[in-house]
């Protein structure tokens, strides 16, 4: 039983998680195969050196910012799904949005005619967005009911879409040019290797409103965690909360996956870790999951790009290994 939530307790808990988030932002850009010293960068800035910050500002900082946003989003969506679906194994992959987005991305990488761009959007992002939107629409149509959404049907529809997407990806890979398979595999492993800030611009109009929608559901999700009937008895509009959570999750996951690829385990492991550390109040769990998830993914990406001297390990591989070990440890702790 967690302690009652007071303004003082909320402030102290959030300050700890925010400090971890800020530490990841300040430290991770300076860590890598090519060392970057803060003092040397300041001297170059003062001397007006032309290549000031070329590694730090154009490679490391954008990458860490993307890791913080992507990791925080995945963890936040996982925390929301675990409440509305009443399933501790729910994560951003549950509704099949990630699978649909992956199908679109693989198509863009395999069909030369899809190598188009629209404004700041690349063909990969456009096709990934379209795949996520189709999956989101299919799941919504299947799960929609006159008085709300069926959570059991929503879960089954999401799992079905994920399986169908996996089959389509295998089909596309089978008929694709073998020279494109490396690019497909690299994207499917998840990655944060961007250059500059231009690639993040197109996803923000989807990401920021989606995040706002999810954070606004913290209070209602507290009641929903006790059951739909009890939440309705407390005056919560259950159907509206489910719908807003569904829409917010769809927008944010489509934005993140289109840019970073499918990154697993962050949305599953981080909410469980936050609940063990800070209790079950969603007013803490949601923002704390975002902050800890961002710091966790930034740290995993830093490990992936520094572990070996001659090559970089995709961040999805690191999160799968680290997240799997941590989740098993949590399960063993609960058993004891």
> What's the pLDDT tens digit per position in 179-196?
888 888 888 888 888 878
Is residue 102 in a domain? yes
- Higher-confidence residue of 145 and 99: namely 99
The owner of tokens 């188009």 is 116
Residue 287 has pLDDT above 90, yes or no: yes
Is residue 2 in a domain? no
- pLDDT at residue number 80: 94
- pLDDT at residue number 206: 85
Is residue 331 in a domain? yes
Domain total in the chain: 1
Task: Name the burial class of residue 109, with classes exposed (0-12), middle (13-18) and buried (19+) by CB atoms within 10 angstroms of its CB.
Answer: buried
Residue 1 has pLDDT above 50, yes or no: no
For residues 149-155, give the mean pLDDT.
Answer: 80
322 is in which domain, residue-wise? 7-335
Contact 122, 278 (CB under 8 A): no
What phi, psi does 145 have (nearest 5°)? -130, 160
CA 78/CA 250 separation, integer angstroms:
12
Supply the CATH number for residue 184's domain: 1.10.3470.10
For residues 286-313, give the mean pLDDT.
Answer: 90
Q: Cite the DSSP H helix spans in 111-237.
A: 123-143, 151-175, 181-188, 204-215, 218-224, 228-233
- pLDDT at residue number 296: 96
- Higher-confidence residue of 329 and 283: namely 283
Q: What is the pLDDT of residues 203-239, one digit of tens each?
A: 888 899 999 999 999 999 998 888 888 888 888 888 8
CA 66/CA 255 separation, integer angstroms:
11
Residue 118 neighbours by CB under 8 Å, 6+ apart:
126
CA angle 206, 211, 215 (to 5 degrees): 155
Is residue 1 in a domain? no
Q: Which residues of 223-237 are buried (b: 16+ CB within 10 A; e: fewer)?
A: bbbeebeebeeeebe
- Mapped onto helix, strand or coil, the DSSP state of residue 148 is strand
Look at residues 66, 80, 135, 68 and name the one whose alpha carbon lies nearest to residue 286.
80
CA 225/CA 282 separation, integer angstroms:
9
């Amino acid at each position: 039983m967690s302690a009652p939530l007071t303004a003082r307790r909320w402030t102290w808990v959030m300050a700890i998680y925010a400090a971890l988030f800020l530490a990841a932002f300040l430290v991770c850009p300076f860590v890598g195969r090519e060392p970057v010293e803060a003092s040397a960068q300041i001297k170059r800035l003062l001397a007006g050196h032309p290549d000031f910050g070329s590694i730090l500002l154009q490679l490391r900082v954008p990458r860490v910012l993307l890791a913080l946003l992507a990791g925080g989003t995945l963890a936040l969506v996982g925390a929301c799904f675990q409440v509305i679906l009443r399933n501790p194994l729910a994560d951003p992959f549950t509704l099949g949005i990630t699978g649909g987005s992956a199908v679109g991305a693989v198509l863009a990488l395999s069909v030369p005619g899809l190598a188009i761009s629209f404004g700041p959007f690349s063909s990969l992002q456009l096709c990934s967005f379209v795949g996520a939107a189709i999956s989101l629409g299919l799941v919504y149509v299947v799960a929609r009911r006159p008085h709300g959404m069926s959570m059991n049907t929503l879960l089954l529809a999401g799992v079905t879409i994920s399986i169908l997407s996996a089959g389509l990806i295998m089909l596309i890979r089978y008929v694709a040019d073998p020279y494109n398979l490396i690019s497909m595999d690299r994207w499917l492993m998840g990655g944060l290797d961007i250059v500059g800030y231009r690639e993040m611009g197109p996803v923000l109009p989807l990401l920021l409103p989606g995040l706002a929608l999810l954070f606004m559901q913290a209070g209602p999700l507290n009641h929903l965690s006790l059951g739909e009937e009890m939440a309705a008895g407390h005056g919560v509009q259950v159907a509206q909360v489910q719908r807003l959570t569904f829409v917010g999750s769809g927008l944010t996951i489509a934005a993140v996956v289109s840019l970073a690829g499918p990154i697993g385990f962050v949305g599953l492991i981080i909410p469980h870790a936050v609940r063990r550390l800070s209790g079950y109040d969603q007013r803490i769990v949601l923002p704390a999951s975002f902050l800890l998830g961002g710091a966790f993914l930034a740290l995993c990406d830093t490990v992936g790009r520094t572990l070996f001297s001659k090559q970089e390990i995709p961040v999805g591989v690191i999160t799968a290994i680290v997240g799997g070990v941590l989740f098993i440890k949590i399960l063993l702790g609960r058993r004891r």
